[in-house]
Amino acid sequence: MSGFITNKPLDSILGALNTAAASGDPTDTDAAMAYIKQLVTNSEHLVDVSMHTTTIFPESTANICVLTAHANANTWSAWAEIADNQGTPVTLSSKFAAKAGHITAVEVEGTNVASVLFMIELAYGEAKTTINRLRFTSETNQIAVAQVPRLRGSHISAGETIYYRLMCATGAKTANVYFRYFLE
C-alpha cells in the first residue's frame, strides 16, 4: 500500500523540500509542502504587521484634527475626509498615497462638551468601506488615559481616501483627536 489517503505514493502527497510554495486557495493537486511554505510566508507577514513602529497624524503639536458631529443629536455627520487644521490642510489620506497600511488607534485628546457620549466611524474609498467604529464618553472635556481606543481595523490600500463621521448624544459638538498608523 503506497498511502493511507489515496493510491498515490506518499511523497507525491507530501512533496519535497524543493516544492514551490502554494498560492491562493487549496487544491487537490498541490503537495502538503507547498502549503507549509505558504503558511511560513504568510506567518512572516503577520509578524511584520504585529511588530511595527507607528506614526502620528497630525505630525506636529502645533496642529490638531477636529472631528465635528452632526447638528442633530444622535445623528451621523456627513462623511468627511480626515484632515488637520493647517492653513492648507494635510489629509491622513496623503500619508497612504504610495503605501498601504493600517490605522492602529484614534486617541481622543479632548472635546468641547463634558459628560457626553460620542461615536466615530472610520472608512476608506468611494464605497466608504468600514475600517472601524468606536465610542467614548467625554469626561471633563479631557479624555482619561484609560479611554484611548485601539483599533484592529481593515487594511487600507494605497491611494485610498480616508473618511470619518461623528455622532454625539447632544449634537453639534467636536472632538480633538490624533491617529496612530503604520504603512507596510
Q: What is the mean pLDDT of residues 94-103?
A: 95
CA distances from 155 to 23, 49, 127, 162, 171 (A): 20, 10, 15, 12, 30
The string of pLDDT tens digits covering residues 106-115 is: 988 888 998 8
The string of pLDDT tens digits covering residues 134-178 is: 988 887 655 554 455 667 777 899 999 999 999 999 989 999 999
Contact assessment for residue 71 and residue 167, using Cβ atoms and an 8 Å cutoff: no
Backbone dihedral angles phi then psi of residue 88, each to the nearest 5 degrees: -105, 100
Q: Which amino acid is at 23?
A: S
Contact assessment for residue 67 and residue 175, using Cβ atoms and an 8 Å cutoff: yes
The string of pLDDT tens digits covering residues 118-138 is: 999 999 999 999 999 998 888
- List the domains of the chain with CATH numbers: 10-50 (no CATH), 55-183 (2.60.120)
Quick one: pLDDT at residue 1?
45
More confident site: 30 or 55: 55
Q: How far apart are the first and last CA of the chain?
A: 49
pTM of the model: 0.73
**Burial call 61-77: b when 16+ CB within 10 Å, e when fewer:** eeeebebbbbeeeeeeb
The string of pLDDT tens digits covering residues 32-60 is: 777 777 777 766 666 665 667 889 999 99
Quick one: pLDDT at residue 11?
65
Quick one: pLDDT at residue 48?
61
